[in-house]
Structure 1
Amino acid sequence: MVKEFDSFEGSEYQEIDLEKIEIQLLLQGIYDMYGYDFREYAYHSIRRRVIHRMQNENLSSITQLLDKVLHDTATLKRLVENFSINVTEMFRDPSFFLQFREKVIPMLRTYPSIRIWHAGCSTGEEVYSMAMLLYEEGLYDKTKIYATDFNTKVLKKAKRGIFPIENMRKYTNNYILSGGKSAFSDYYTVTDNGVVFKPFLTEHVIFAQHNLVTDKSFNEFHVILCRNVLIYFNKELQVKVHQLFYDSLGMFGILGLGSKETIYNKNYADVYEPVSVQEKLYRKIK
């Protein structure tokens, strides 16, 4: 629809509209040129990251950023890293892990083998947390954890298993509140480079690149965990990703979401039953 203006000059509405057009062109250009699809990410979240990258590149417009991204892959890499949401911690939201331990673990005990998908695993803190929990419950040896993210840089960090020592006090407290059965310090060694977690915690973990926006289902899982990722997608993309999770979960499989997320719209509400409404744990029943 074409918008008409009595006066184009100095129009705040025009400036806002122009900015949206520039961002749309930027995202479309990235998709057409490189195959990364951020077109259905939540607009305000994407806008903050675009403006941040534009300012850090010392550019005066988003159009200039588009030009630089299309001709310089290093700039693209920096922008894509900005789009990757990497806010995480070990045993984040301890009550979630406590409910998982108390309500989901008994279900998993009935399976001869277990497949878990951590979608959007970021730097891996929650992957290591789940490995510890499964180890303490005697299920780790029969479990395969698939930890995926579209950002290869954070996957490399996750594989290394090295984290800042200053985070350990908070992580220890989270671990205790989540029902931890050992001493948290037993799982890591302090080095000059930071805290290194014991190698056995990744013996049953596969770290791999996977893009929730463009990639398909790659296995059938007993558990899918995707916490605090969907909030950065628009409604249409949320529906698409929920379909991916539904297709990837086996019957009676468990879906775990973030504290601000839920089963989206009526298309999915009746195919799951709540395991824990408060902690956003659901069981596939249809």
Structure 2
Amino acid sequence: MPPPKSPLDDLRREIDHIDDTIHDLLMRRAAVVERVGVVKSQIEAAEGQVSGNPQTPIYLRPAREAVILRRLMARHAGSFPAMAVTRMWREMITAFTRLQGPFAVAVYAPEDRRGFWDVARDHFGSVVPMTAVNSPAAAIRAVSEGTATVGVVPYPAEDDADPWWRFLVSSDARTPRVVARLPFAGRGNARGEDRDALAIALVPHEPTGDDRTLLGIELGHDLSRGRLKDHLETSGLAPTYFCTWHARDPSGPSIHLVEVADFVDHTDPRLAAFAGRLGEIPVRINIVGGYAVPLHFSHDARKV
């Protein structure tokens, strides 16, 4: 006589079927991503032939990734934790990106600041190759030289006397750009205090509909932060954060890192309007990059 049928049997079979369906779709998605990689390589090769400057393609698209996660969060419902959904998709996004080509991360993570490693792992997943470096400059160098696709560096501090970000204030095409702010999808159970970071890469900053842009503003002589802020706001560039570095004399030339609440690129007429308001003050403006505004959750993984 067969054992009595448990009322859970049908539910477990349904769960198994759902798991199989999810797995089938993941394998199908992987096949599509591989085709995307082939098409991207063909486009890069064609553009390289036209320009006479062939380059190794980079398959990272931080803006596209942000749009995907925002769309999923907008449709999410039910009891399954939203942060778990984003964590699963972050794992998948990086895994699928690696199917298209090489992908590695250099993380600023000295012995006393290991929290940055956790923040990077939460964003880029547990299977991507990651290397710890002891300075932000080393992370920048790894990206510039191509030994890493992405570098993870601390969010700029106003009181930093030797700021790493000044090395990104450049028009050189081999200078990395800021492409994301971490954590993007909520704080996980990273060790230590809350740590915000920026991801840098050799890819352009692209719009997502809710963005911040980092401007590197080089001035020929000193200008008070208050006047600089007024000129930016009058030009339609609302600043949300400032850092300043003086190479030598505090009253002499300066470089300002300014975060503005919008997407800005080199063709934006607001940049010309801002430069015009400075009058005879020598100015050079570089787009240091930018990021999609991170998702916000009412609680994180370390709180109950």
TM-score for both structures, normalised by structure 2: 0.24
- Largest Rg, 1 or 2: 2
